[in-house]
């Protein structure tokens, strides 16, 4: 009798747990609801054409950002930079008027006056990867995306657009001595500030000779 009681209690407990643990639906109904997969290309195209220009127009001058960070790092990082991930890396959308010093296979070195000397900046023209543009633009909120895959696909699309529509014509036209206006994303390591040849991932490039 005691044995049967034990079995009954066990079965009842398992049944209750199962009842509280799972629910059933028709697969076809669930599929119909979740059929709309994330369209990274469409999303990126929309923010590229409708929202990014405003962000580029309001980008901070690189030299101003450096000065702000050197004067009050916490405040400057808070006001001018953005990051979607935890860590020391922050991204900012910056602008600079500079002169092309050297055209390399993978980048273009430009110079601009800063303090009492010249600051050399590397503009990436070949390897445009990572999340710098997406994060610096502040147009994407991590909370809107159910998985990191979708979030990363936005970066991929943004980088692809830069490679195909911005860099291709620029690389064909640019030469040493050209005056350029560069607007793009910069990644800054909060813990190890280094302004020696910072790298910009360009989003807008104009030759203004």
Partner 1 sequence: MIAQLKIGSDTLKRFQSLIALLILCTILSFMTDKFFTADNGLNVLRQIAVNICIATGMTLIVLTAGIDLSVGSVLALCGAVTVGLLRNGVEIPAGDLFVGFTLLGAILGGLLCGWLLGWFNGFAITKFNVPPFVATLAMLTIARGFTMLYTKGHPISNLGKEFAFIGSGSFLGIPVPVWIAAIVVLLAVFITQKTKMGRYIYAIGGNEQAAKLSGININRVKITVYSFAGALAALGGIIVTARLDSAQPNAGMSYELDAIAAVVIGGTSLSGGKGSVWGTVMGAVIIGVLNNGLVLLNVSPFWQQVVKGGVILLAVIIDKAGERRD
Q: Given the rule CB under 8 A, which residues bind partner 1?
A: 17, 20-30, 142-143, 145-149, 152
Cβ distance to partner 1 smaller for residue 36 or 58: 36
> Both tokens of residue 52?
């990014």
Do the Cβ atoms of 162 and 133 come closer than 8 Å? yes
How near is the Cβ of 142 to partner 1 at its closest, in Å? 8
How many CA atoms lie within 13 Å of 38's alpha carbon, on the beta-carbon side? 15
Is 21 or 209 the residue whose CB approaches partner 1 more closely?
21
Closer Cβ to partner 1, 29 or 105, answer by number: 29
CA 49 to chain centre: 17
Nearest to 120 by CA among 104, 94, 98: 98
User: What's the min distance (Å) between Cβ of 185 and partner 1?
Assistant: 22
| Smallest gap from residue 198 Cβ to partner 1 (A) | 25
- The secondary element (H helix, E strand) that includes residue 120 is strand 117-124
Residue number, 12 or 181, with CB nearest to partner 1 = 12
192 versus 208: smaller Cβ distance to partner 1: 192
Tokens of 185: 């994303």
Kindly state the tokens that stand for 74: 């916490």
Q: Are 66 and 95 in contact (CB under 8 A)?
A: no
What is the closest distance, in whole angstroms, from the C-beta atom of residue 26 to partner 1 in the complex?
6
CB of 199 to partner 1, least distance (A): 25
User: Helix (H, G, I), strand (E, B), or coil: what is residue 70?
Assistant: helix
């Amino acid at each position: 009798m005691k044995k049967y009681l034990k079995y009954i209690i066990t079965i009842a407990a398992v049944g209750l747990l199962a009842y509280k643990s799972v629910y059933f639906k028709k697969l076809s109904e669930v599929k119909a609801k979740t059929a709309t997969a994330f369209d990274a290309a469409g999303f990126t195209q929309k923010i590229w054409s409708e929202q990014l220009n405003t962000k580029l127009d309001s980008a901070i001058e690189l030299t101003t950002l450096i000065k702000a960070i050197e004067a009050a790092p916490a405040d400057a990082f808070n006001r001018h930079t953005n990051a979607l991930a935890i860590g020391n890396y922050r991204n900012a959308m910056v602008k600079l008027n500079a002169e092309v010093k050297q055209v390399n296979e993978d980048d273009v070195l430009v110079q601009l006056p800063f303090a009492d000397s010249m600051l050399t900046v590397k503009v990436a023209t070949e390897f445009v990867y990572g999340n710098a543009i997406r994060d610096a633009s502040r147009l994407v909120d991590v909370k809107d995306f159910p998985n990191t895959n979708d979030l990363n696909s936005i970066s991929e699309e943004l980088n692809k657009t830069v490679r195909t529509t911005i860099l291709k014509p620029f690389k064909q036209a640019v030469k040493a001595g050209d005056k350029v206006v560069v607007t793009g994303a910069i990644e800054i390591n909060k813990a190890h500030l280094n302004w020696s040849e910072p790298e910009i991932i360009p989003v807008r490039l104009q030759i203004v000779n």
